Structure 1
Amino acid sequence: MAKRRPRLIVYHVGVTLLTLISVGTVLLLLMGWGNATVEMTIINSLLVVFAIDYVTRLVLTRNRKIFLVQSAFDLLGIIPLHPVFAFFRLGRLVRLIRYHHLFWRLRINSKWTRAYHQFIYKTGFIYLFSFSVTIIVISAFLFSLTEKQSLASALWWAITTATTVGYGDETPHTAFGKIIASVLMIGGVGFIGLLTSTISGFFTARGQQMAASQEDHEQADLDQLLAKIETLSTKVDDLQRQLEATTRQKKE
């Protein structure tokens, strides 16, 4: 284990650097800075690297079910429909930070990481999000084939359709394309609706927990204040009795 540890750290550092390079390159491409041809070459090359890395880890892992759940964002990060999917690779960095306990080592409060874990896994967000993206991606790919559209345009159509925005700039014209649209409308809207309710439910529950915690804290402060007031009243009464006793002694 001691021999593998340095290799693991080098591997994780390499993954971090490649992730930052891929995300930075996509940002440059989206903002129109630099040479688009060179940027697309870098993006496609890193896509192949991350795809090989994902397949290798999937083959070597002992529990593929847990791996598929925990690495859902990694799978989304190797979807070749659009370079913007590279942003999902940032989820890998969050897991690496938690794996090496960097927040604890830097003495940073870990409440954020616990909240992130509860939101992603315990609420089922990762499952709903993965299903929603899968439906959108498959629909976009099939729409691109049947309607002879670019993958970027097909993805834009799938997103606007699934979210019920429907700008109308991209519409199906073939019978098969209309079937795809119908399936996306039923399945995609249902999963996205569940996704939205999961997000709102999580934040509502968190708000109620924070409010209840604040009320308990305020009640504890109030009880402590009342106890101090009672102690102070007792001392004042004792002082008054001593003063009265001293006054009587002087009179005598």
Structure 2
Amino acid sequence: MATQRRDRQRWLVGYHLVITVLTLLSVVNVSLMLGHWGPLASERAVSHGLLVFFAVDYFVRLAVTKNRKIFLVQSAFDLLGIIPLHPVFAFFRLGRLVRLIRTHHLFWRLGLDGAWTKAYHRFIYSTGFIYLFSISVAIIVLSAFLFSLSEKQSLANALWWAVTTATTVGYGDETPHTAVGKIIASVLMFGGIGFIGLLTSTITDFFTSRARQAPSAATTQQQADLTALLQKVDALTTKVDQLQMQVRQLERHH
């Protein structure tokens, strides 16, 4: 039993090392593509191969997991990382590395675990940021895909249009011309902008609450320090009184 457990642990560590290497390779490869460094054909081939690998890995884990609801929530970035609209979505695979770091308690092993990791967990999960972010990205991606089909645009241009529309920037370089495209744009304007507004307010509320809690935490610490100081003063006063009594007794004997 113990041998099987050790073998399983070794296999898991090896698997996570492979995922880590391929994730970093994805990020480097996409960075090279965006910077137009190196042969583009080879970089695209590597990007497509990694996309297939991570897609298979995601759906296999989804099939074997015991709780798919929790898996879908925790692996939202993994799903975004296999969206084939644009190579830049590979950057979402870095979310996998964050979970691997937490799984193996690397920050704790390195002595780096502290308040900031707890704040990160509260920001991502407790505030609902991960859910709002995933829904916002899903709306943008779906709108871009439908816009691409209806307007006969490339997926990259459609994604650019969806992002500029949802963020209310609206450069106007890409606009819908068909009736279906205008309906998609209308849905994105109401749905996407609403969720992005909630996302922005969530981020603002989190940092505002942190700023409010900081002074109160500092005040509490000051009160605790003052209480400890008063206790030490009382203890010192008691010892001084005892010494004075002993001195008086000695004087009486002499």
TM over 0.5: yes
TM-superposed CA distance for 1:231, in Å, is: 5.8
Report the counterpart of residue 46 of structure 2 in structure 1: 42
In structure 2, C-alpha distance between the alignment counterparts of 1:12 and 1:38, rounded to whole Å: 26
Report the counterpart of residue 16 of structure 1 in structure 2: 20
Report the counterpart of residue 179 of structure 1 in structure 2: 183
Report the counterpart of residue 7 of structure 1 in structure 2: 11
TM-superposed CA distance for 1:60, in Å, is: 0.5
Q: Which runs of 5+ in 1 are unaligned?
A: none
In structure 2, C-alpha distance between the alignment counterparts of 1:40 and 1:4, rounded to whole Å: 35
Aligned: 1:71 with 2:75: yes
Aligned: 1:195 with 2:199: yes
Q: Percent identity?
A: 67
Cα contact 1:139–1:184 (8 A) shared by 2? yes
TM alignment of 1:43-192, pairs within 5 A: 43-192=47-196
TM-superposed CA distance for 1:183, in Å, is: 0.2
Aligned: 1:25 with 2:15: no
Q: Which runs of 5+ in 2 are unaligned?
A: none
Of 2-11 and 70-79, deviating more is 2-11
TM-superposed CA distance for 1:150, in Å, is: 1.0
TM-superposed CA distance for 1:110, in Å, is: 3.4
Give 3-state SS (helix, strand or coil) of 1:2's partner: helix
In structure 2, C-alpha distance between the alignment counterparts of 1:51 and 1:144, rounded to whole Å: 22
In structure 2, C-alpha distance between the alignment counterparts of 1:49 and 1:29, rounded to whole Å: 19
TM-superposed CA distance for 1:3, in Å, is: 2.1
In structure 2, C-alpha distance between the alignment counterparts of 1:13 and 1:7, rounded to whole Å: 10
Give 3-state SS (helix, strand or coil) of 1:172's partner: coil
TM-superposed CA distance for 1:109, in Å, is: 2.3
In structure 2, C-alpha distance between the alignment counterparts of 1:239 and 1:209, rounded to whole Å: 45
In structure 1, C-alpha distance between the alignment counterparts of 2:97 and 2:230, rounded to whole Å: 49
CA deviations 1:195-249 (Å, max 9, x no partner) are 1111111112222222221110012223333445566677788889999x8xx99
In structure 2, C-alpha distance between the alignment counterparts of 1:111 and 1:241, rounded to whole Å: 49
Give the total of aligned pairs. Answer: 247
RMSD: 2.1
CA deviations 1:56-89 (Å, max 9, x no partner) are 0000101100000000000000001111100100
Cα contact 1:98–1:113 (8 A) shared by 2? no
